[in-house]
Every structure is written in C-alpha cells, then in structure tokens.
Chain A
Amino acid sequence: MIFDSLNIAASSLQAQQRAMDVVSHNIANVNTPGYSRQTADLATLTSEKVAGLNLGRGVGVMNVRRIVDPIIAQAQLNNGSQLAYWDTTHTGLKAVENVFGSLQSTGLASALDGFFLAWKQLANNPQDHGQKVNVRAKSSVLVDSLNNMKQQLGTVQANTDANINQSITKTNQILDNIASLTMQINRHEAGNKGAVGQANDLRDQRDQAVRDLTKLIPVQQVNTADGGLMLQTLGGDLLVQDGNARHLARGAAGSGNFSTIVIQGSSSAIDQSLQGGQLGGMINLRDNKMGTYIQKIDSIAANLIFSTNQIHASSASSTHQSTLTSEQASNVSLPLDSTQQTVPFASKIKTGSFKLHVYDNTVTPPVASRTVINITAGTTTMSNIVTAINAVAGVSASTDASGHLSITAATNHTFSLSGDTSNTLAAYEINSFFHGNSAGSLALSSNIKSNADAINTGQADAATSVVQTGDNSAALSILALQNSAMSIDATPSVSLHDRTTSLSTLYGTDTAIALQQKDYRTVESDSLKSQRQAVSGVNVDQELVAMLKFQRAYQASAKVITTTNRMLDSLMGLIR
C-alpha cells in the first residue's frame, strides 16, 4: 500500500508540472493580441475502494480551458465593424478638408465673392478696360477653384475605389485563413468530447481573424459545437463554411460607374449589405460623400454657367463683333433642342427669338439694321439659323464639319446680338461668358480668354441698335445673380452663395458626425477591450501567485516521495 502514496505523489508532480506549463504559456502570451488566458482544470483521479474504504488516487489535469466570454466577443465583432466604418469615413473626409477651405482661405466662397465683386466694380465703371481685365482674372480664379475642387474630389473618389480592391484582396486572404484555421481546429479536436481538449490557441487565432475580418466587412457568425464555423454577410450571403471560403470580387458597373462588389461566381451585388467595416466605409465615402459633393459643385457650376451665359449672350459692347463662333457643336439637321444633340443645355431651348443687329461702318455714325431670328422648339435646326442669318445683309453664317456655328460680318460691317428669349445663344455658347456644363468642364469662353474686351457690359438698344460705352445693364444683371435664387437643374432654387455655404456646412456636418461616431465607437471599443481583458487577459501577478501555488504543491509532492522513500527504507531495514 505504501506504493500508492508514491503513485499519488507522482500524479501530483505531473499535474503541478502541467499546470505550471499553462502558467508559463499564459505569461509567455501576456502581450499576444487575441490571446485568451488558459487554466488547467485539476481534478482528483477516480478513487479506489480498498477494504470498504474509498481511497483517492491523486490528481490529474482534466482539461486546459481558455477563458472567453461569447457575449463580449460578439459585441466586439459589431463594434469592430462600426469603428472601422466610421474611422474610414472620417479619415477620408479629413483628407479632402483643404478642398473646402479654411478661415485663412475660404476657397470657393471667396472666389465667388471675388467674381461678383469684380462684376460690381465693372458695372460701376463699364468703360474701364482695367475692370474687364479684373473680371477676367477673378473669373479665372473661380473657374480654377471649381476645377480644382472637382479634380481633387474626383481623385479621392477614384483612389477610394482603388483601395476597395486592396481591401477585397485582404478580405479574401482573411477568409482563406479562417477556413484554414477551422480545418486545423477540426483535425486537432477530432475524437474529443465537448469542450475537453479544445484547440485553444487555434480558436484564439480564428477569433482574432474573425475580428480582423469584421474590420473589413460586417459579418454574421454561427459557431457549431464541433469547432465548425459559418460566416455570412449581413444580407445572408455565405462567406465561410467550415473549410470552404467564398471570395469577394468586383462585378458590373453600379453607382457612379464604379464596379459593384459581388461574391465570386455570382453577379448579385452585395454593396447594400456592406453597411459596416472598412469596405462599407469606403463605399459610403466614394458614393454618398464624394459623390454628393461632386454633384453639388457640378450643380453650382451648371447654374453659374447657364445663368451668366443667358445674360452675356444677349449683351453687347460698343465695339461690336466682326466674327463669333459657337463653342458647342451641333448636329445641324436635328432640332436645336433635340435630346440627340450633345449640347448640355439643349433641353433649355424654347420657342422664342433673338435679334441680330448689323452695323454698316462705311458712314459715321454707323447705320444699323435689326433682324429677328425666330426659333421654334422641336423644329428649328442650326441649318435653319444659318439660312436665316445669311438672308441678312452685311453678315454671313456657316457651320464647320463638327457643327460649330460661325457668324461673320462683311467688310466694313460689324454686328451684335440681343434679346435671346429662346436660350439658343446660351445653350450653344454663342457670345457666351463661360464654356462647359460642370465643375470639371467649366472654363472661360475662348473669346474672353484671349481678349478681356470681349466681356460685354451693355445691350444693343432695341430701337436704335446703339450700344453705349457706359451702358452697364448687362453687368448689373449678372451682378444680380449673386444673391438670386436659381435652379437650372432639378435642385431646389437657392442662390449661388447659399449653395456654396451649404456645401461647406454639409461637409462639416458629415465630418462632425463621422468624428462623433468614431469617438463613440472608440470609447465602446476601449470598453469592450477592457471587458475582454478582464475576462480573458493575463494578469502577470495572478499568474505568478499561481506559479508559487503550483511550485509549493510540487515541492510538497516531492517531499511526500522522499518521505515515502524513507518509509520504504525503514521497511526494508526491518527485513535486513
């Protein structure tokens, strides 16, 4: 029976040694991300009935258990996804901060103020060449400002789209890793019953991989008792089942002509179910944020271009014109307002007319004649206009191969245009101030670019065709656009200043919301990390105390063995 003591002590030596191994493993992984502390479950070995007595047989390590809280783990998945979403959105928004200006340089707002201030100064001194040069310079600043905004926002949008590809690659790597880890877990745990003998470290690695995955895309997780795992998108599309992973890929063109995201092999876009994670944040940034800002600056540009051109195209200067060419090409045989015309503002053309004033400069003062050119919506073509103008003495008209209209005065003749009620001149950019239809295509008309005196401030008198040098009626009308509510697209009718300031406000509010959400999710993340650490984290002091406990138990067991050995020596001494 004395040997039983030796066996019991030996079981203790072995158990304490294994428990010490667990402590050592915990201390070794104190800083390992995703590691969950482990404990050795010590239990008495099955007792033995000897002479009617139940005698214990020692101790053994029944299981090595990792300490995790599944509720906290699930909360961390949701939090990780939202934190990454808002962090990506906020970082992306901060990257375009300079586009919207600062108090030191208020960007578009000050460029717009400068543009209208220059028009005001010109209106108050219409005969001053210097003021025209100033209007051209301030207009160029405004054009550059809108062009740069469009270009910078477009670049961020394109870069974000390119980054989506990188995130998809990263997501696919993690999905493969999760599937691989699941296979390894299955192999390690094969034949085990329940929670005993779990592949703790592999499970930690897989949990960490799932947490990393939710930082990229939001997922739903279903665990099975045998170590299996199923991951789905929020829309229910399967991503991983046990050892099989389905990859993400780019699909057909979707919003803003950017490719959608699909599950490889499928054509259904899953963009809508990506409402979290870095990928969701990038889609939000690309489509909802940058997309909206670009739409708004395009609308500002379109309203500015068409409203200014409407006035400028019907205005004149005292020097009159000897030749004018439209800056928009037409299909000469189609009605001017046909939807098949490539002219951006063709739909704005309506039934009306404009007046062509022709000046015979062979006498002083010049003799002027006036001809009304009629336009009927849905009927009149550019060819009809050419014919109508060619019927007027002193001028001729033609179109080039691409459909640009040219009006040319005969020798010793000049001409001017006025009173366009059909919007034809503005739409086809004849005698216009701006060229283009969006923030990206906006430019000064080539006439004005090359000659500031092509800026018109007055109008040809309806009865006498005279344009006075000091006439500022057109300049005053353009100036009045500054604070006038307008809408040439489907947007609400508001002034250009209000459109600009509300764009800055929208950007500011978006950034503030993104920051607030990011901060909230960061605090939540810190809290969840603390909660996880409280349950699963390693406390070195606690482990050292456990180490002392096991060390002492080991020493005591060794003492039992030496004592038992002495007892055996005593027993053997009796025999000698």
Chain B
Amino acid sequence: MRISTSMLYNNLLTGIRNQQTILNDGNAKISSGTRFQTPAQSGLDYKVSLDIRHAQVAVQSSVDASKAVESRLNISQTILNDMSNIFKRTQVLAVQQASGQLSSANRQVALQEVNHLADQFLADANQKWQGQSLFAGTAVDKAAFTKDAAGIVTYTGSNHDRIVSISDNQQIISNIRGDNPAFSAAFSALQGFKTALTNNDSAAIQTSLGALNSAGDGIINLTSDAGARLGAVRISRTSFEDMKLSLDKQLNQHEGVDIPAVVARMQQSSIALKAAYQQIAQLKSLSLTNFLR
C-alpha cells in the first residue's frame, strides 16, 4: 500500500484520540466508583439500577411501615396489659367480697376501689397515643368510649380498622378496635360487680365473679392477639431488613466498578499514548528533506 505523508500523522492522531477516550472514561469510572452513570452509557444497566433503587425505596418504606404498626400494637399491648391488671385486682376483690362474712360497710369500701378501677379501665380504653385514640378504629380524633349518666359505657369509635400498607400485597391491621366484644363484656362485668357491691348482694357478687373471670380472659385474649400480631410484624420487618441488605449488596455489585481492571487498562492506554507522542516527535526527523542539502 502506498503511504502518503498525511496518513502517517492521521493514523497517530486517531490513536491518540482513542487512547485519550479510554483515559477519560477510566477517570470518570474511578471518580464515580460506578461502571456507568447515565442511561446513555448503558441503557439496560441503568434500568436495572432504577429497578433495584425502586425496590430499595419500597423495602425501606415497608420497614418504616412495620415500625409504625409495631409501635401502635406495642402501645396497645401495654394498655391492654394494664387493663388486664385492673381485672386481676377486680377479680381478687370479687373473691374477697363474695364472702358471706363481710358487712355492707366493708363492701362500700371495696366499691370505692372498684369505682377507681372502673374509671382507670375506661381511661385506658380511651387512651390516646400521639394524639390518636388507640381503640376508636379510624375515628382517631374521637374518644373510643363514652359513659352516660347511668354509668353505661358505649363504643363511639368507627367500625373500620386502621390499615397500614406494608408492601404492594401486604396490608396489616395496626389497631385493636373498641367494638370487640371483650371490651363490652369487660365494661358490663365491671358495672355488674359495682351494682352487686352497691346492693350488698352476695349472690350477685358471686355471679359477677364469673362474669369478671370471663371478661378478664377476653382482655387477656386481646392482649395475646396484639402480642401475636406484634410478633408477626417483627418477623416481617426482619425479613424486609434482610431484603434491604441484599438489595444494597446487589446494587453495589451491579453498579460498582472493577477498579484494578480499569487502572490496568488506563496504564496500558497511557503507555500507548506516550508511544504515539514520541512517534509524532520522531516523524519530522524521518523525512527526506532532512537529508537533502
């Protein structure tokens, strides 16, 4: 092949351009720590990155939502425990007051304590957390129960649960609703016991003891239910946290650059670039014009 003078320069110039492109790409990869930065550099890889990041956001939001459910159920469980303790004390009092040896005066003293316990039970049932009624369903701005002049307690919350979206296909009920029969049974049993004490009616106290035992069991069952749900949410949250770690790793593997490989390639490229520069400097002395006098 015949070689023209400009071919010699053009070929070296093309080589220099190519090596500079390699060095520039390498610098961008090393400085960013990623194989690519934009969809223009690798459309499909970029899409995979967006998908992983989308999943990361979803998983993180699932962890956060699980924590919100845990928090609500945890406080509900604490309050239910307190309510359960109230019932235990009431049951003890009922056992004591069922004795035929006690006078009316004794029972009026016990009634004072039962009234306090019933008020505490109502206060627990209307407990708010972060300004929201715990047991009123979606009517979070309202008291769950109201007591009328006759001392009858009625549920005034909503009949809808507070649903928390954990993920696309997982929604969890984050509350214990006050219209659960265990609450009405509890209020009813307390009211019955108070009436029996007021009337100094040993037989009725005996009957109340049964109702209190049954209602107490109901509150314990609700506490257990909250506990069981709490346990399930914790397991679910742990699983999302594991998933989050896995996604972090996946993203790092997908986007991360193989720095030694890039450096080796850049090293190779800079040697070629130096050689090209040297060759260009040498070309001028390799002309016949330098030998003609």
Seen from chain A, the residues whose Cβ lies within 8 Å of a Cβ on chain B are 30-31, 37, 93-94, 97, 100-104, 106, 109-110, 113, 117, 120-121, 123-125, 127, 318, 458, 466, 468-472, 476, 479-480, 482-483, 497, 500-502, 504-512, 515, 526, 529-530, 533-541, 544-545, 548
Contacts and interface: CB of A to CB of B under 8 A. Distances in A.
B56 to A, nearest CB: 9
A479 B165 contact: yes
A100 B5 contact: no
A507 B165 contact: no
B34 A534 contact: no
Contacts of A103: 32, 34, 36-38, 46, 49, 255
Contact of B42 (A106, A127, A508, A548): A508
Contact of A505 (B5, B46, B164): B46
- Closest CB pairs A-B (n = 8): A508-B43, A537-B4, A508-B39, A470-B138, A468-B138, A470-B140, A511-B40, A533-B4
Interface string B9-52: 01100100000000000000000101011111111101101110
Nearest to B13: A526
A102 B3 contact: no
Contacts of B3: 534, 539
Given A103-B34, A469-B141, A512-B43, A534 B7 contact: yes
B274 interface: no
B162 A94 contact: no
Contacts of A31: 6
Nearest to A127: B140
B132 interface: yes
Contacts of B4: 37, 533-534, 536-539
B53 interface: yes
B2 A544 contact: no
Interface residues of B, number: 54
A100 B39 contact: yes
Contacts of B10: 526, 529-530, 533
A289 to B, nearest CB: 12
A551 B276 CA distance: 36
A471 B40 CA distance: 44
Contacts of A109: 50, 53-54
Given A104-B37, A110-B53, A511-B40, A539 B46 contact: no
A506 B43 contact: yes
B168 interface: yes
B61 interface: yes
Given A469-B141, A537-B5, A507 B53 contact: no
Given A103-B34, A533-B6, A539-B2, A121 B61 contact: yes
A504 B50 contact: yes
6 contacts: A37-B4, A458-B138, A466-B158, A508-B40, A512-B43, A545-B288
Residue among A94, A458, A504, A512 with most chain B CB within 10 A? A504
Contact of A512 (B42, B131, B137): B42
B160 interface: yes
A535 B171 CA distance: 76
B141 A127 contact: yes
Contacts of B255: 103
A508 B5 contact: no
Given A468-B160, A476-B171, A540-B5, 4 more contacts: A470-B139, A505-B39, A534-B1, A534-B2
A504 B50 CA distance: 9
B65 interface: yes
Chain A interface, DSSP helix/strand/loop, else mixed: helix
B162 A537 contact: no
B282 interface: no
Nearest to B51: A501
Nearest to B42: A508
Q: Which of A318, A502, A533, A535 has the most CB of B within 10 A?
A: A533
B50 A106 contact: yes
Nearest to B142: A469
B165 A123 contact: yes
A278 B231 CA distance: 66
Q: With a 10 A CB-CB cut-off, give which of A468, A515, A539 has the most chain B CB atoms.
A: A468
Nearest to A536: B4
Contacts of A120: 61, 65, 165
Contact of A501 (B50, B168, B292): B50
A364 to B, nearest CB: 12
A428 to B, nearest CB: 29
Given A106-B53, A124-B65, A318 B141 contact: yes
A127 B140 CA distance: 8
Contacts of B163: 472, 476
B65 to A, nearest CB: 5
Contacts of A472: 138, 162-163
Contacts of B14: 526
B288 A508 contact: no
B50 to A, nearest CB: 5
A113 B43 contact: no
A508 B61 contact: no
Contact of B11 (A125, A482, A530): A530
B289 interface: yes
A297 to B, nearest CB: 14
A568 B8 CA distance: 52
Contact of B47 (A505, A538, A540): A505
B63 to A, nearest CB: 12
A117 B6 contact: no
B57 interface: yes
A520 to B, nearest CB: 14
Contacts of B40: 93-94, 97, 100, 507-508, 511-512, 515
Contact of A504 (B46, B138, B140, B165): B46
A539 B5 contact: yes
Contact of B288 (A466, A515, A541): A541
Given A93-B40, A507-B39, A468 B50 contact: no
A500 B61 contact: no
A177 to B, nearest CB: 24
A113 to B, nearest CB: 5
B17 to A, nearest CB: 10
Given A124-B165, A533-B4, A539-B2, A468 B139 contact: yes
Pick the most buried of B1, B42, B138: most chain A CB atoms within 10 A of its CB.
B138
Contacts of A539: 2-5
Interface in B120-146: 131-132, 137-141
A510 B65 CA distance: 39
Nearest to A100: B39
A120 B67 CA distance: 14
Contacts of B165: 120, 123-124, 476, 479
B101 interface: no
A470 B132 contact: yes
